[in-house]
Structure 1
Amino acid sequence: MKTSDLISALVQDPVPAPRLGRVLLAGLAGGVLLAALTFALALRPRPDLGEALEQLRVLAKFALGLGLATAATGLLGRLARPGVPGGGWRWSFLLPGLCVLVAVAAELVAVPPGAWEARLFGKNAAVCAPLILLISAGPLLCLLAALRHGAPTRPGLAGAVAGVAAGGIAATLYALHCPDDSPLFVAAWYSLAIGADALAGFLIGRRWLRW
């Protein structure tokens, strides 16, 4: 069977779509559970978490992680099926990024330039990205395994988006622990970790998800 014929058959067949949706949901749930377990074993919530959640700049950390995880998961449901356009999910990544950019701009205006470097590196710059990558390992593997039940025509892109979803989940959990609340810190180190997850997902996905 030609590839074009296979794609047409998959698109026209109404049966696999609901099953694939359930598989992706199961992969997401399993990934979140593994991430939560990793977080519980390696870290603990910051002692002032309740007070911190009243600050807008702290909420920006969760907006980045949750926003990217939601956008990437929604797009994965489209990429896993051949011939299905990304739709509005392709643009949903802009919102969490915009939230962080606004927070960074506000901080640059409010904080003297002499304090920018201290805000950028904080106290945990050396461990932030590695810990997010550690927490994201489980979600990334679960999502990639779920994608193998689909038929992504762009396996590298699908893997990269799975990496963003895993990184967003991990960043959200890590934010419960991280005492560095500066938007400059978040924009630099959280984004670095999520970008590394996307790269890992791309490299794995273009081989493991090929069909």
Structure 2
Amino acid sequence: MRTDDLIRALDADAHSRAMPLGSAWWVAAGAATGIAAVVFWLAIGPRTDIATAMHTMRFLAKFVFTTALAISAFALIRALSTPGASTSRAAAWMTAAPLLVVFAVVLELLSVPAADWGRRLVGSNMVVCLTFIPLIGVGPLAVFLAVLRYGAPTRPVLAGTVAGLLAGGLAATFYAAHCFDDSPLFVATWYTIAIAILAALGAIGGRLFVRW
């Protein structure tokens, strides 16, 4: 069978499921958000001064970064799960979150004395961040990998990696409500590492459970 014929067959199979693949992704997004919310509230919950923090730009900026990642990763993974679908536009939007973080870091470096850079980068919740973003995100990652199996991604490792980034963006959005470290330097370093852990787990999951 030629490659084009195989892709058309896979695409037809993906569209013939009991639930359309597009609908399955929205159901998965809702389920994953619910799982992340439950783990977040049971494990750590929001910071005690969140009412005050919500009036600061650094606190709010964290949610801009994390939701930008989650939204762009969601668009890309939907395309990757459908054989033959174009991924170029969705992949281009994946640069939005990193560019926003870089822009915020530059502003931070320009506005904060150099003597404070190290303190803001290390913060006070480094270990908590590296622990709870993966913990909150592992359930959603399992949900996203299950939907990838429901679809027919032709690049399972890449799709699994994006599933990890999506889970990481979702988990980091919840964790940001708890985190007392609002500096873009902290977010750019430790949030990135924590999300990368989920991306690596997603790549492994894609290779082991999604390949066909």
The reply to whether TM is greater than 0.5 is yes
**Residue in 2 that maps onto 1:159:** 160
User: Shift in Å at residue 75 of structure 1?
Assistant: 0.6
Aligned: 1:171 with 2:178: no
Give the whole-Å Cα distance in 2 for the aligned partners of 1:16 and 1:185: 46
The 5 Å alignment of 1:74-93 reads: 74-93=75-94
TM superposition outliers: structure 1 runs of 4+ over 4 Å: 1-4
- State how far apart, in whole Å, the 1-side matches of 2:6 and 2:46 are: 49
For these two proteins, the number of residue pairs brought into alignment is 211
Q: Partner of 1:31 in structure 2?
A: 32
Give % identity: 45
Unaligned runs of 5+ in 1: none
- In structure 2, give the amino acid aligned to 1:169: L
- 3-state secondary structure, aligned to 1:61: helix
The one-letter code of the counterpart of 1:24 is: W
Any gaps of 5 or more consecutive residues in structure 2?
none
Residue 142 of structure 1 corresponds to 143
Question: Is 1:5 the equivalent of 2:11?
Answer: no
Aligned pairs for 1:194-205 (under 5 A) are: 194-205=195-206
C-alpha distance in 1 between matches for 2:145 and 2:2: 25
Q: Quote the residue 1:65 is aligned against.
A: 66
| Distance across 1 between alignment mates of 2:96 and 2:54 | 20
SS in structure 2 of the partner of residue 195 of structure 1: helix
1:123 maps to 124
1:30–1:14 Cα change, 3 Å: closer
Q: CA deviation at 1:87?
A: 3.3
User: What's the TM-score, normalizing by structure 1?
Assistant: 0.94
| 8 Å CA contact 1:144, 1:205 repeated in 2 | yes
Distance 1:159 1:197 in 2: 10
Q: 2: distance between equivalents of 1:125 and 1:196? A: 14
Letter in 2 for 1:199: A
AA matched with 1:5:
D
Q: What do you get for the CA RMSD once the two structures are aligned?
A: 1.7
Amino acid at match of 1:124: N
1:112–1:10 Cα change, 3 Å = same
